[in-house]
């Protein structure tokens, strides 16, 4: 066991997501710059970038996918095959478990309209309580923590970086050896502490402008 916990940003997008710009090389450069031991590559509905990076990087890369469900986003951690988008939350979580992954409720207070219903509660493995992109950040974090505590689920954090400079703004400290299976087991048993801050107002504004431009194209 390491003396120090691993510092992992558990929510990072690359240019394999339709709405992100970060190249695989930039992920490595910025992760090192921010002192991270590794990242979870969580592109929207694809694992292509994650698998490519895992092959050629000496960072810890957790292959993941951010799955678009009928009721919000689910982070499928430790999956090497994409989970089909558009399914119900329940079925999505089931599929994630079938392929050996764990299901994390992504930015739950921002997306899960109507809250997390009782019947799907036992299926999640963790709740992302800190996500640098949520707005308003401090209220979302407070509510996210409340959800996790109420459901008695482990807590994670990630930047949800769509641009390289956002990588590492939030991260999870994980008590585990530097091995992907160990990391996943540690998250599941709650040996994980979420840490993080929001993206700056300047970045928020730039992101809003570029998403407007994308919509007009």
Write the interaction track for Zn ion spanning residues 97-116; mark x where CB under 5 A is met and - where it is not: ---------x----------
Of the ranges 26-34, 54-62, 73-81, 93-101, which one interacts with Zn ion (CB under 5 A)?
73-81
Residue ranges in 41-60 that form contacts with Zn ion under rule CB under 5 A? none
- Cβ nearer to Zn ion, comparing 65 with 175: 65
Three-state DSSP at 3 gives coil
**Binding flag, residue 9, Zn ion (CB under 5 A):** no
**Binding flag, residue 163, Zn ion (CB under 5 A):** no
Residue ranges in 131-150 that form contacts with Zn ion under rule CB under 5 A? none
**Binding flag, residue 66, Zn ion (CB under 5 A):** yes
| CA pair distance 127, 107, nearest whole angstrom | 8
**Length of the chain in residues, anyone?**
217
| CA pair distance 194, 36, nearest whole angstrom | 14
Distances (CA, A) of 4 to 26, 35, 173: 25, 13, 9
Three-state DSSP at 117 gives coil
Choosing from 160, 164, 186, 203, the residue that interacts with Zn ion (CB under 5 A) is: 160
**Binding flag, residue 125, Zn ion (CB under 5 A):** no
**Binding flag, residue 128, Zn ion (CB under 5 A):** no
Three-state DSSP at 143 gives helix
- Cβ nearer to Zn ion, comparing 155 with 175: 155
Residues 6+ apart with CB under 8 A from 145: 129, 155
Give the total of residues touching Zn ion (CB under 5 A): 4
Q: Which of 96, 86, 94, 44 is nearest to 65 (CA)?
A: 44
By the criterion CB under 5 A, which residues form the site for Zn ion?
66, 73, 106, 160
């Amino acid at each position: 066991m390491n003396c120090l916990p691993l510092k992992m940003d558990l929510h990072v997008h690359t240019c394999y997501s339709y709405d992100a710009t970060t190249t695989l090389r930039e992920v490595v450069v910025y992760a090192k710059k921010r002192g991270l031991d590794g990242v979870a590559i969580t592109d929207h509905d694809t694992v292509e970038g994650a698998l490519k990076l895992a092959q050629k990087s000496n960072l810890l890369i957790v292959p993941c996918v951010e799955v678009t469900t009928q009721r919000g986003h689910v982070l499928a951690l430790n999956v090497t095959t994409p989970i089909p988008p558009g399914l119900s939350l329940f079925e999505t979580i089931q599929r994630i478990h079938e392929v050996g992954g764990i299901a994390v409720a992504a930015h739950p207070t921002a997306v899960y309209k109507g809250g997390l219903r009782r019947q799907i509660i036992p299926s999640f493995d963790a709740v992302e309580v800190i996500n640098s992109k949520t707005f308003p950040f401090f209220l979302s974090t407070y509510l996210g923590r409340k959800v996790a505590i109420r459901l008695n689920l482990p807590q994670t954090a990630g930047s949800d970086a769509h641009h390289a400079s956002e990588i590492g703004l939030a991260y999870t400290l994980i008590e585990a050896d530097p091995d992907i299976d160990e990391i996943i087991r540690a998250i599941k048993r709650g040996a994980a502490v979420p840490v993080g801050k929001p993206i700056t107002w300047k970045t928020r504004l730039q992101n809003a402008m570029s998403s407007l431009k994308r919509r007009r194209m």
